[in-house]
Amino acid sequence: MSAILPPSERLWWKQPIDKVEWAWIAIAFVWGMVMFVMMIYWHIYGKQNLSNEAYKTTPEMFAAKAEKFIAENTIRTETEQQIPVVKVPANGEGYLIARLWAWYPILELEKGKTYKIHLSSMDYNHGFSLQPVNINIQVIPGYEHVVKMTPTKEGTYAIVCNEYCGIGHHSMLGRIYVK
Ligand code: CUA
């Protein structure tokens, strides 16, 4: 019997399991168990597996909440496109919209404070990738992701879309300031 030819014994599933097959089944099972335990371990002790919450929403509902947040907390605008820079209230909630092909608005956070950042997409699947700290979250239309963040270092952080979303994907960049 080979992988290419049909099995010589047609009822191959009635053949006894070979020692080598048992060995591979055992290896695969043990490895699966190791990964299962590691998944739980990294969820608790890992630094990148976020325990974020997600809720069902619609682009309209999320945009309304984000617009209200932007209207109440904008401190200035930046770049030629007049993108609002919004100061998230200390230990409060912030909203970030993903859409073709921008992250909106620019958020400003304070070092050492804990924030709940709400993320959602207005159109397609985007990927929130915070650099250089390398935090990655899928941003999916219809879902509101709530991520807890406590910045530990001042600086300008880049948000890069890491989920291919069309012709402007490479230009889908955003910014978070930590003061
Ligand atoms: Cu948004 Cu790629």
Over the stretch 97-106, which tens digit does the pLDDT of each residue have? 999 999 999 9
Q: Which atom of ligand 1 is nearest to the CA of 170?
A: 2
Domain containing residue 24: 1-49
Q: Are residues 9 and 82 in the same domain?
A: no
Q: Are residues 68 and 105 in the same domain?
A: yes
Q: Are residues 43 and 61 in the same domain?
A: no
Q: Are residues 147 and 117 in the same domain?
A: yes
User: How many structural domains compose the chain?
Assistant: 2
Q: Which atom of ligand 1 is nearest to the CA of 100?
A: 1
- DSSP string for 84-103: EEEEPPTTSEEEEEEETTEE
Q: Are residues 26 and 77 in the same domain?
A: no
Q: Are residues 154 and 81 in the same domain?
A: yes
**Residue 173: CB within 6 Å of ligand 1?**
no
Q: CB of 97 within 8 A of CB of 132?
A: no
pLDDT digits (tens, 9 = 90+) for 13-59: 888 899 999 999 999 999 999 999 998 888 788 766 666 788 999 99
pLDDT tier at 5 (50, 70, 90 boundaries)?
A: confident
If you ran DSSP here, which 8-state letter would residue 41 be given? H
What residue ranges in the chain does DSSP mark as E strands? 53-56, 74-78, 83-87, 93-99, 102-104, 106-109, 115-121, 126-131, 135-139, 143-149, 155-161, 173-178
Q: Are residues 69 and 140 in the same domain?
A: yes
